[in-house]
């Protein structure tokens, strides 16, 4: 389903629940990965996920689970390159500030808040913006009206 169609039908890419926001990214694909002092994932044409703090990349491999710490500030993110062309199965932002993305490959990317600055942000078409606040919590802006 086209992302602009989703935004028009749902009026928002974010769906609020009691303890979380559901990010309406299911079925979309990671089309670009950028590395600077942040790890950036372009999801289809209009969504950007930017991670600026250490995060965890987890893979379920058979009966064992492998976790790798990614540190974008030091460009220590090579394992995340495997997410290129992977499909998003679910994307959730907990109101505590944690971001959880699950991909078709079985990989999970988790980014927790940190005290000193915004750990991550997600932006989308029409001005959608969600930012993890320092020490937790979220700032959420819907699309421009």
- Residue 74 confidence (pLDDT): 85
Tell me which residue has tokens 């670009």: 32
Give the chain's residues under pLDDT 50: 1-10
Tell me which residue has tokens 């290129």: 84
- Residue 11 confidence (pLDDT): 52
Give the tens place of pLDDT for each residue, 22-36: 999 999 999 999 999
What are the tokens at 90?
A: 């679910």
Q: For residue 90, which of 80, 74, 104 has the smallest C-alpha distance?
A: 104
DSSP state of 4: H
- Residue 138 confidence (pLDDT): 97
The partner residues of 95 in beta bridges, in order of sequence, read none
Torsion 33-5-9-126 (CA) sign: positive
- Residue 7 confidence (pLDDT): 42
The ranges assigned to domains in the chain are: 3-141
**DSSP-H helix ranges across the chain:** 3-10
């Amino acid at each position: 389903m086209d992302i602009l169609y989703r935004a028009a039908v749902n009026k928002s890419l974010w769906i609020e629940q009691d303890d979380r926001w559901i990010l309406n990214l299911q079925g979309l694909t990671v089309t670009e990965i950028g590395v600077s002092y942040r790890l950036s994932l372009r999801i289809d044409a209009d969504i950007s996920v930017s991670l600026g703090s250490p995060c965890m990349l987890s893979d379920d491999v058979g009966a064992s689970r492998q976790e790798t710490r990614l540190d974008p500030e030091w460009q220590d993110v090579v394992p995340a390159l495997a997410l290129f062309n992977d499909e998003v199965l679910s994307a959730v932002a907990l109101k505590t500030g944690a971001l959880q993305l699950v991909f078709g490959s079985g990989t999970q990317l988790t980014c927790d808040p940190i005290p000193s600055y915004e750990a991550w942000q997600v932006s989308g078409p029409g001005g959608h913006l969600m930012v993890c606040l320092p020490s937790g919590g979220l700032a959420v802006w819907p699309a421009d009206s």
